[in-house]
Structures are given as C-alpha cells and as structure tokens.
Amino acid sequence: MFSIKNHQLYIDQVEASELAKTYGTPLYVYSENKIRAQLDTIKEAFLNKYPDTHAAFACKAFCTKYMCRLLEKEGFWLDVVSGGELYTAIKSEFPASRIEFNGNNKSDEELIMALDYGINRFVVDNPSELYHLEQLCLDRSTKANVLFRITPAVSANTHDYISTGKKDSKFGIPLDDDILYPLVASAIKSEAIHFLGFHFHVGSQLHEVNTHLSALEVILQLILSTKERFDYTISDFNLGGGFGIKYTDADQPIALSAFIDPIMSRLEEFCNSHGIIRPHVSMEPGRYIVGEAGVQLYTIGSIKQIPDVKTYVSIDGGMTDNVRPGLYGAKYDACIANKADYEKNTLVDISGKCCESTDILIKGLSIPEPQFEDILTVFSTGAYGYSMANNYNKLQIPAVVIVKSDKHQLIVRRQSYEEMIEREI
C-alpha cells in the first residue's frame, strides 16, 4: 500500500502530498486495493472455505455510500446499528436481503424503517426489544428473523471501553435461566418472530482467539439446551467480529484463519458428536476490513518547543476527526509525507487544534525535524475516524478520498461552514 519515491510517501501509486494539495487537509484517504485485499482474505479464510456462511461489514467502522456499493458488488452483507446507517444502505440501493440490524436500543422509527425495507434479520439485544418488535410485526402482518445477542460473561484482552462480552456489559441478554429460556420459548412460539439462533460479540482489537473460543462454549451449550428443552434446532450462529489490526509495531495481530479455523473446527466437532446440523455461521468484521486501508493527512502548523521538556507539533485537525486517542488512549504511528525517508531525529507530541488538553493525537513520536506546512500522515485510521468525526469547536468534517492504483476520487466532500449550521434556527 505504501512506497517512497524522491523522499515522498505514496499511497498505492499516488503521492500523499499531492492529495493534500488537491483536496486540502485534514483529509481521510482510503486505498480501495487494500480494502479489496481484506475482503479477499475473508473469502479465502471463511466464505469459500466453509459452506453456508456469510460476512457482514460492521458499518459503524466506516459507513458511506461508496463503501456500501463496494460491499454489495463483493457479495458481502451489512451490519447496521442505527437508522442513519440503514438509511445510508437504502440510499445506496443495498439489497435488504443482506442487511442485519444490531444495537442495544433500537427506536420505533428505526425498527419500522427496517421492517418496511424488509431487512433480513434483527439481532435482539434484550427482552423488551423482542416483545416490542413482535408487536410491530403483528401490527404490520409481517414476520421478523431474529437472533439473540447473548452476554457470554467472558473478558477480552483489550481496553475496557471496547470489551463487550463481560457479564456487566450494556450489550446482550444475560445467561440467567429465568431470563434467557423464557425468551427463547416466546420467540419459538411467536407467530411474528422466526427465531434463528444466537449471536455474541466479545470485544474489539483482539489478538488472540481464546476469548472467542470461551464464548463459543457458551453458545454450544445454548444450542444443545434449546434442542433438549424445546425440540428446536437453531439455524444460525453469529460469532461477531473484533479481529485485531496493526496500529503500531507493538501490535501483533494474528491471521484471520487463526481465529476462524479453531472456531469452525470446534463447532463442527460439537454438532457431529451431538447429531445436530451445523448452523449457518456469520461474522461481523469492521475494523479488520478498513482499519489499515485508511490514513489521515494533516498540515503541520505551529511548533512549540519547551526546552528540556518536550516539543509540541500542532496539526490542523485532532480529536474532531480522530477522537480515539482521547477516548480510550488509542495509539498510532505517523510520518512526514514529504520527508518520508529522512532521518527521524526529533521527538515530538502531535497536538490537535481543539481547546482541550486531551487533544493529543500521538505522544513521543520520532520524526524528521518538522517545519511549517509539512504534511503529516497518520497510519491505520480507516476505522472509526470518519465515523466518529464531530464539530467540536465548530471544526469542519474533513473530506474522504479513495485511491485506487494511480487514480483518486472524492467520495465525501469537506463540510462547509454553511452546512455546519444549516440546521440551526
């Protein structure tokens, strides 16, 4: 994805500094070739290797019409968690038959939009949602395909803010017998609900499979218990996502197959030993598909040297276009695009321009001696940068550009000041 020519960093075959000049900064840049390579890896390690499977892109990572259309062409599904993500899919003419709706607090407006569009399935997060969805279906003389997201009560080796499988998580249905099994019985008996099976998501940015395997054991017992208690065979199982990527040299992500193969092997072994048909299996990768495919470009502004303390290098963006460092201490690597192979002889902190002391994008970064109007490239920002962008301090949402080989095109234009205040009365 990256190369250096005449001291300049290239993304695919396009000079990063030229992109900054053409579209302005801050700027989100994605490599379509890298995105497609990640999709191909999922096909090779999961979809083509194991029959009766599908992969749904977790839209929360990066939801644009371009991304929806690319995924549609590649045969992937979408996992949406809001009316806005669903609306983006609808406006992209993404087929309803390949959309699933996740999330812990779906509103009436969102559920009705999804039912009217005819999406494939709902991942129900709590008992009240099931009964509410059931009534909406009865009112419309329709039926909804449903999976239950369960809380497997396992802890993932990741930041607490992105660990989602613990017993006290805000997500999922508890495993308590007096909560879960009456809900399963109700779904099986319902005229408006088609109960498919179970779903879990144990956390994000995971570099080992043990947490998934522990959660899988919970699912396997639920499959067996559902069969024994209700004489009902579940048809679907969703193993979530959370596969880690490389942000810095400290990250050592494992191959996707190292996640998938042990899970599928254990699932098939269990089903065979108990005479149960192996359910359809799905996953929801988001960051894995787009994280390393994206970079952000910034223009360096003021440089503040505090003798014997540190040097702050300020950029023309910050926590408004990448809130993750301030939100949960996310770490990134970066370089100066127009000095890509210069000696890294200066230790700096990269400072955003927001009026917050926590707006520090990278601490302790070694770069060539920085100068005013140098172009800083931050790597692996493809997930949750644009998705979490905000207008704090009335800063504009940056543009998004796609690079493919030696071509580049705008897919989201930079927000104007007028657009920023157009809803204000």
Q: How is the chain split into domains, by residue range?
A: 2-30+292-421, 32-290
Instruction: Note if 355 is an active site residue.
Output: yes
Average pLDDT over the chain, rounded to an integer: 95
Using the structure block, give the residue that is written with the tokens 């949602």. 129
Q: Which residues pair with 237 in a beta bridge?
A: 198, 281
Asked if pLDDT for residue 400 goes beyond 50, the answer is yes
Asked if pLDDT for residue 156 goes beyond 50, the answer is no
The mean-pLDDT minimum among 58-67, 172-181, 350-359, 416-425 falls in: 172-181
Q: Residue 1's CB: how many other CB atoms inside 10 A?
A: 14
Q: Does 167 or 83 have the greater pLDDT score?
A: 83
Structure confidence at residue 155 as a pLDDT band (50, 70, 90): low
Structure confidence at residue 162 as a pLDDT band (50, 70, 90): very low
SS (H, E, C) the chain: CEEEECCEEEECCEEHHHHHHHHCCCEEEEEHHHHHHHHHHHHHHHHCCCCCEEEEEEHHHCCCHHHHHHHHHCCCEEEECCHHHHHHHHHCCCCHHHEEECCCCCCHHHHHHHHHHCCCEEEECCHHHHHHHHHHHHHCCCCEEEEEEECCCCCCCCCHHHECCCCCCCCCECCCHHHHHHHHHHHHHCCCEEEEEEECCCECCECCCHHHHHHHHHHHHHHHHHHHHHCCCCCEEECCCCECCCCCCCCCCCCHHHHHHHHHHHHHHHHHHCCCCCCEEEECCCHHHHCCCEEEEEEEEEEEEECCCEEEEEECCCCCCCCHHHHHCCCCCEEEHHHCCCCCCEEEEEECCCCCCCCEEEEEEEECCCCCCCEEEECCCCCCCCCCCCCHHHCCCCEEEEEECCEEEEEECCCCHHHHHCCCC
- CB of 138 within 8 A of CB of 115? no
Q: List the catalytic residue out of 68, 271, 354, 355.
A: 355
Structure confidence at residue 168 as a pLDDT band (50, 70, 90): low
Structure confidence at residue 137 as a pLDDT band (50, 70, 90): very high
Using the structure block, give the residue that is written with the tokens 């999804």. 114
pLDDT (0 to 100) of residue 204: 86
Q: Residue 250's CB: how many other CB atoms inside 10 A?
A: 8
Mean pLDDT for 392-403 is 98
Six token digits for residue 34: 């890298």
pLDDT (0 to 100) of residue 167: 57
CATH superfamily of 2-30+292-421: Lyase, Ornithine Decarboxylase; Chain A, domain 1 (2.40.37.10)
Long-range contacts of 302-311 (CB under 8 A, 24+ apart): 302/372, 303/370, 303/371, 303/372, 304/351, 310/347, 310/348, 310/349, 311/346, 311/347, 311/348, 311/349
Structure confidence at residue 170 as a pLDDT band (50, 70, 90): confident
Give the Cα separation of 348 and 365 in Å (integer): 5
pLDDT (0 to 100) of residue 70: 98
Asked if pLDDT for residue 157 goes beyond 60, the answer is no
pLDDT (0 to 100) of residue 83: 98
Give the Cα separation of 155 and 160 in Å (integer): 9
Structure confidence at residue 153 as a pLDDT band (50, 70, 90): confident
pLDDT (0 to 100) of residue 159: 45
Give the Cα separation of 279 and 237 in Å (integer): 6
pLDDT (0 to 100) of residue 199: 96
Structure confidence at residue 203 as a pLDDT band (50, 70, 90): confident
pLDDT (0 to 100) of residue 171: 80
Mean pLDDT for 269-274 is 97
Mean pLDDT for 223-252 is 96
Asked if pLDDT for residue 39 goes beyond 80, the answer is yes
CATH topology of domain 32-290: TIM Barrel (3.20.20)
Long-range contacts of 173-182 (CB under 8 A, 24+ apart): 173/124, 173/125, 173/126, 173/127, 173/148, 173/149, 174/150, 175/150, 175/151, 175/218, 179/127, 180/148, 180/150, 180/222, 181/225, 181/229
Length of the chain: 425
Asked if pLDDT for residue 165 goes beyond 70, the answer is no
Asked if pLDDT for residue 95 goes beyond 60, the answer is yes
Mean pLDDT for 326-336 is 95
Asked if pLDDT for residue 247 goes beyond 80, the answer is yes
Cα distances (angstroms) measured from residue 70 to each of 73, 94, 240, 388: 5, 10, 21, 21
Cα distances (angstroms) measured from residue 244 to each of 116, 139, 253: 35, 42, 5
pLDDT (0 to 100) of residue 154: 73
Mean pLDDT for 97-126 is 97
Give the Cα separation of 18 and 244 in Å (integer): 31
Beta strands 346-351 and 407-412 are: unpaired
pLDDT (0 to 100) of residue 282: 98
